[in-house]
Amino acid sequence: MSLRLTISHSVLSITTEKSYSPDLTVRELKQKLEMIVGTPPDSMILQVRDAEGEVLLTLQPDNKKLSEFHLDQRSRVHVVDTNPEGGVLSQISAFDQGLMNVPKYEIPAEAYKKRDDTFAKWKEKNLKEHFQKKEDEKKGKEYAWEDALKDIKVEARCEIEGKGLKHRGTVKYVGLTEFAAGPWVGVELDEPYGMNDGSVQGKTYFECQNKYGKFVRPDAVTIGDFPAVDELDDLESDEDEEL
């Protein structure tokens, strides 16, 4: 059965869906994605992100098969171009250069530089705005994470939110990880709505039952006196409604 993935890119404003064999390695997937986004495989970092853009996991190492990540259908794979100046943008520049080789009227270089309505000025301005926006968003998230971390301690009861759903649990890990940059909070959920057993990509950060572990960013965690979810209470409520 093929795996349907939604592909997005850190520089190009594209979102497309493609089907791939789960038997592909991460490296083979990168090679196929190069034909879509133009980024060389060695300049790619593949991240699985949720609807809010949060990184759920990083597809690595390159020799690992897609089937080993247990991805859902239509998981979003975000291609991070680590060298846009030498990858996608260089291809755009090469395309621009090709157009320049076509015989056409050319104004003197000094006159061209003085004009404000040229494509070069437009590209320069928009690239700067693009990278500045990305940097501002990154700093904004980092400030929010840093502020939220002040109240988060291991073994504290909490409620986490993601994709419009809230789940209760206990904080089991706070800190950096190997699967993605920045601080993460590992939570042992009261119910099996998680994605792991406290381990990600072979490294154990805490221990719990499978599907009870979940990692979220600090600003998705609310610390408080949240009673543990009791499944028996839900069953009793259902029985009362049937009486």
**77 and 9 part of one domain:** yes
In the chain, the number of structural domains is: 3
Q: Domain end: 93, 123, 148, which one?
A: 148
Residue 219 in domain: yes
pLDDT at 224 over 70: yes
Residue ranges making up the domain that contains 137: 105-148
Per-residue pLDDT band at 243 (split at 50, 70, 90): very low
Residue 229 pLDDT: 77
Reported as a single tens digit per residue, the pLDDT across 144-177 is: 899 899 999 999 999 998 878 999 999 999 999 9
Reported as a single tens digit per residue, the pLDDT across 9-30 is: 988 888 899 999 999 999 999 9
Residue 37 pLDDT: 85
Here the CATH number for the domain that contains residue 183 is 2.30.30.190
**111 and 141 part of one domain:** yes
Residue 200 in domain: yes
Reported as a single tens digit per residue, the pLDDT across 110-139 is: 766 667 776 776 777 776 676 677 776 767
Residue 240 pLDDT: 46
pLDDT at 214 over 50: yes
Residue 89 in domain: no
Q: Domain end: 22, 47, 81, which one?
A: 81
Residue 118 in domain: yes
pLDDT at 85 over 80: no
Per-residue pLDDT band at 91 (split at 50, 70, 90): low
pLDDT at 236 over 70: no
Residue 26 in domain: yes
DSSP string of the chain, one letter each residue: --EEEEEEESSS--EEEEEE-TT-BHHHHHHHHHHHH---GGGEEEEEE-TT--EEEE--STTSBGGGGTPPTTEEEEEEES-TTTTHHHHHHHHHHHHHTS------HHHHHH-SSSHHHHHHHHHHHHHHHHHHHHHHHHHHHHHHHTT--TT-EEEEEETTEEEEEEEEEEEE-SSSSSEEEEEEESSS-SSBSSEETTEESS---TTSEEEE-GGGEEES--PPP-HHHHHHHHHHHH-
Residue 208 pLDDT: 97
Residue 36 pLDDT: 87
Residue 213 in domain: yes
Percentage of residues in the chain having pLDDT higher than 90: 56
Here the CATH number for the domain that contains residue 53 is 3.10.20.90
